Chains A and B, each alone.
Chain A
Amino acid sequence: MDREYSFRAALKVAGLLVIMMMALSMSGCAFFNRENTPTLNWVEDTLWPNDTTARVAVFPLVFPAGLLAVSVDAFVIHSASVVGDAGSDTGDALWDDMKWDERYMTESALLPWRSITTPIVFTGDFIGRAWFNIPKRIDEEKAETEQKQHEEQAERWIEEGEQLLKDLRPSDALDHFLKTPDYPVPEPVQARMARAVVEAAIRCGRTHELESFRFNRYGALLERYYPGEIAHWLNEMGQSDNPIVRWGIYEFTADFSKNHQQRLEATQKALHDPNPVVRQRMLLFLDVRQRDGICVDSIPEVERIAQKDSEPMNQIVAEQLLRDLRR
């Protein structure tokens, strides 16, 4: 009976150890972060010789010395260093949001619960921080401050570009945007930035330059925000009196839309455009479009232009295009 009981106990302990090891390996043990092992770092820097012969000589000492250093780190230094963070976490979780003036009785009723749960939350948080590689609060705060700074910087950068657009200097605005900042543009302002970049490119008729933008670090943003923010603006601007803007919209849609139907519609709209230059640009562009899966044969507008267009040059281009592509 005793033997069976001790076997069960051993099984339980082994199970617990396996779970602990899995948790440690999956969530990232604190040991794997160099910042959490100052003693081990010191041993490595000062006691580990540079010379190969000396290294071979002291090798038998590496394991016991390293184990001792890791133990000191785990049970003394790193543990002591997370006490403050565990205390602050507990304070934030349980003691931060108290409104004694507004709800005195509720706070009074919750006081014993806060007191009872404090050591439990503190211990759990402390163990979590001591065992696992959880970023220190000061690092999180630093990251938050940095993110805020980047957000402000990016907003200023976008505002400068938008001001150039307002001053009717779209070309300068595009140049401004193409010089992308060396910090990551934070998520909340990315959509605004993508829309401003597209607007600048379309207004100055340099949509094709967005091709180079596509391959820099912010290129993916244009595709990410195309269906929402950018498409909304394109719809608003679709009826523009300015043929440069209309052509920019057709070209941008043709390049960046993932939707075949949208690309086809943009092509057809461009071929129906009242401005002969827009029609001609699209005819010339169709050569490229053929590669995107839009077959010229499926666009009756090309044949219509080849047969009758107010601009004789367009007829020639359309005929040539049909000849080239059917060859």
Chain B
Amino acid sequence: MNGHRVFMIGLFSLATAGMLLSNGCACFDRQNRRLLNQMDDWIHPKSITAQVALAPLSVPVGTLGLATDSAVVHPACMIPRAANDVYNLYWKPREMDFMRKALLFIPIMVLTPPTFVSDWSARSLFDVTEYD
């Protein structure tokens, strides 16, 4: 049972990694690494000696920056976009009669949170800026 669980988790991780690689992880795109780009502007040693000397510090700090970009900054930046997507999809005023609006209100209320979460997750994980 334990082996089966490990196998399933491995398969899921592999599928996620495959999807990330094939669709392009959000952080593969330079535009989605806001914090790391800022760090590049702040810290740019010119000589190779300085670059090597700074490496023990720059590697962990850079990795932390990349992790922050992936887990915090980019997902946070995607909240308004996801909200906009949901608004355009469900809430944007349309020419519709009262009866239809009334009928659609409850399904839209129910669908709004899962749609927002899926859209936000997709935008946070994958590079979907081209669809903006």
Residues of A within 8 A of B (CB): 100-112
Contacts and interface: CB of A to CB of B under 8 A. Distances in A.
B36 A109 contact: yes
B38 to A, nearest CB: 9
A105 B33 CA distance: 11
A105 B58 contact: yes
- Chain B, interface size category, equals 20 to 34
A104 B33 CA distance: 14
B43 A109 contact: no
Contact of B40 (A102, A111, A112): A102
Contacts of B10: none
The 10 closest A-B pairs by CB, nearest first: A109-B62, A108-B62, A108-B58, A105-B39, A109-B66, A103-B40, A105-B62, A108-B59, A105-B40, A109-B63
A104 B58 contact: yes
A102 B43 CA distance: 10
Contacts of A112: 59, 63
B51 A100 contact: yes
B37 interface: yes
B37 to A, nearest CB: 7
A30 B66 CA distance: 40
B94 interface: no
Given A100-B51, A110-B66, A105 B61 contact: yes
Interface string B36-61: 11011011111000010011001101
Interface of A is mostly: helix
Interface of B: 30, 33, 36-37, 39-40, 42-46, 51, 54-55, 58-59, 61-63, 65-66
Given A100-B51, A104-B51, A109 B44 contact: no
Given A106-B40, A108-B61, A109-B63, 19 more contacts: A100-B51, A102-B44, A103-B44, A104-B43, A104-B44, A104-B45, A105-B36, A105-B39, A105-B40, A105-B42, A105-B43, A105-B62, A105-B65, A106-B66, A108-B62, A108-B63, A109-B36, A109-B66, A112-B63
Contacts of B39: 105-106
Which of A100, A106, A111 counts the most B-chain CB atoms under 10 A from its CB? A106
Contacts of B51: 100, 104
A191 to B, nearest CB: 30
A101 to B, nearest CB: 7
Contacts of B42: 105
A134 B55 CA distance: 38
Contacts of B63: 108-109, 112
Nearest to B48: A100
A11 to B, nearest CB: 14
6 contacts: A100-B51, A103-B44, A106-B40, A107-B62, A108-B63, A111-B62
A110 B69 CA distance: 13
Interface centre among A101, A109, A112 (most CB of B within 10 A): A109
Contacts of A106: 30, 33, 36-37, 39-40, 62, 66
Nearest to A120: B17
Contacts of A109: 36, 59, 62-63, 65-66
Contact of B55 (A102, A103, A108): A108
Given A103-B40, A104-B40, A111 B59 contact: yes
A105 B66 CA distance: 9
A108 B65 CA distance: 10
Given A106-B36, A106-B37, A101 B44 contact: yes
